[in-house]
Amino acid sequence: MDIDNCTSWLEIDLGAIRNNIRQLLQISKTNVMAVVKANGYGHGMEQVARAAIQAGATWCGLARLEEAVQLHQAGVNCNLLVMGHTRPSFIREAIARQIHVTVFDAQSAQDYAAQAQAMGIPLHIHVKIDSGMGRLGIFPEEGASFIRWLHTLPGLEIDGVFTHFARADEPSLPTTDQQLDRFCQTLQILEQSGLRPKWVHAANSAATIYFPRARFDLIRAGVATYGLHPSKDAMLPDTFRPAMTWKTRLTSVKRLPAGHGVSYTHRYITSKEELIGATAIGYADGFRRRLGNFALLHGKRVPVVGTV
Ligand SMILES: *Cc1c(COP(=O)(O)O)cnc(C)c1O
């Protein structure tokens, strides 16, 4: 892209993505899924997926089947898991492309199985357990019997079982350990009945770093892949690097006298003569309107003043 003609653009450092995946492999000592849903958290799904695989990720995680199909069509070479629900009318795409899908209800499972059987190709599924998130998933108490029942459906290959944490980015709270305990009860029954699937997974970025016992066979890293801290309480080690930089140009610089208002409602008033720059970014670009933002001007931190 010719940035000479751009007033505002994003720069994505794929070297940072590779670095972050290597950090995750080193910390977790297990397999890494790069979560690249939602256009790679805005970084570009395909490019991020390729960089992550180069660095050693063996899975990509998506929210929707459409995203997985797009990666598969682009020839991205790794296991693909759709973590949201897939409509049965669309499941043929997953079967034909060996895309793994998430299962958490009997009706969809039956529909999927019938179509897989009709096509003569098994569908790879991961069963989701709701250990406390309160969204998708079978409750832990019903998990083992549900999986036992799934095994009676021809056409399905039960490759994984997983859960998702609600508050792993608040590591001092007991919630994540409680969720893990409930998930482990289901796992224990599965193990005793010889039904433990090959891929057990639970950890998002925050849990990967703060809850070692959540790492199991695979971790699912979104924010950490992009070098973003899960929260103030769950910071990444400083070996991680942010991949995205948002750039723009100064389109005006001028001296305003003391007591001069700046921008809408004059919420900022100069206290002395001040040098005020204007940039080619507005809130339509996603720049937050709230006060207290800052920008880097040739690498130096400067406050954003006035309402954006
Ligand atoms: C988005 C998502 C993730 C990634 O979470 P991060 O906090 O960004 O690491 C992991 N698992 C599931 C099921 C998700 O939907």
User: Does the Cβ of 204 fall within 6 Å of ligand 1?
Assistant: yes
Task: Tell me the residue length of the chain.
Answer: 308
- Partners of 162 in beta bridges: 128, 201
Residue with tokens 């709230």: 290
pLDDT mean for each 10 residues of the chain (308 residues): 88 98 98 98 98 98 98 97 97 98 98 98 98 97 98 97 98 98 98 98 98 98 98 98 96 97 95 96 89 90 93
**Distance (Å, whole) CA 208 – CA 193:** 28
CA distance 285 to 266: 22
Q: Which amino acid is at 175?
A: T
pLDDT of residue 150: 98
Whether 264 is a known active-site residue: answer: yes
What amino acid is encoded at 54 in this protein? Q
In angstroms, the Cα distances linking 119 to 65, 80, 135, 295 are 18, 20, 31, 55
Ligand 1 atom index nearest CA of 33: 10
Q: What is the reported pLDDT for 63?
A: 98
Locate 226 and state its tokens: 């992009």
List, in sequence order, every residue forming a beta bridge with 32; answer none if it has no partner. Answer: 219
Instruction: State how far the Cα of 97 lies from the Cα of 99, in Å rounded to an integer.
Output: 5
Q: Which atom of ligand 1 is least distant from the CA of 204?
A: 9
Predicted confidence at residue 187, as pLDDT, reads 98
The whole-angstrom separation of Cα 153 and Cα 114 is 8
Find out whether the beta carbon of 205 lies less than 6 Å from any atom of ligand 1.
Answer: yes
> Which value, in Å, is the radius of gyration of the alpha carbons in the chain?
24
Cβ of 221 less than 6 Å from ligand 1: yes
Mutate to test the pocket of ligand 1, among 102, 130, 220, 240 (most ligand atoms within 8 A of CB): 220
**What are the helix and strand counts (H, E) for the chain?**
9, 16
Ligand 1 atom at minimum distance from 221 CA: 9
Secondary structure element (H or E) that encloses residue 123, with its range? strand 123-129
Of all protein residues, the one whose alpha carbon is nearest to atom 4 of ligand 1 is 222
DSSP code at position 236: P
| First-to-last C-alpha distance (Å) of the chain | 27
Q: Say what the pTM is.
A: 0.94
Sign of the alpha-carbon dihedral angle for 162, 132, 88, 83? negative
CA gap 289, 267 in Å, rounded: 12
Which of 41, 264, 272, 283 is catalytic? The answer is 264
Q: Give yes or no for a contact between 62 and 81, defined as CB atoms under 8 angstroms apart.
A: yes
Q: Is 41 a catalytic residue?
A: no
Q: Which residues pair with residue 275 across a beta bridge?
A: 255
- Local structure of 195: helix, strand or coil: coil
Phi, psi of 19 (to 5 degrees): -60, -45
Q: Does residue 201 line the site of ligand 1, with CB under 6 A? A: no
- The tens digit of pLDDT for each residue in 211-261 reads 999 999 999 999 999 999 999 999 999 999 999 999 999 999 999 999 999
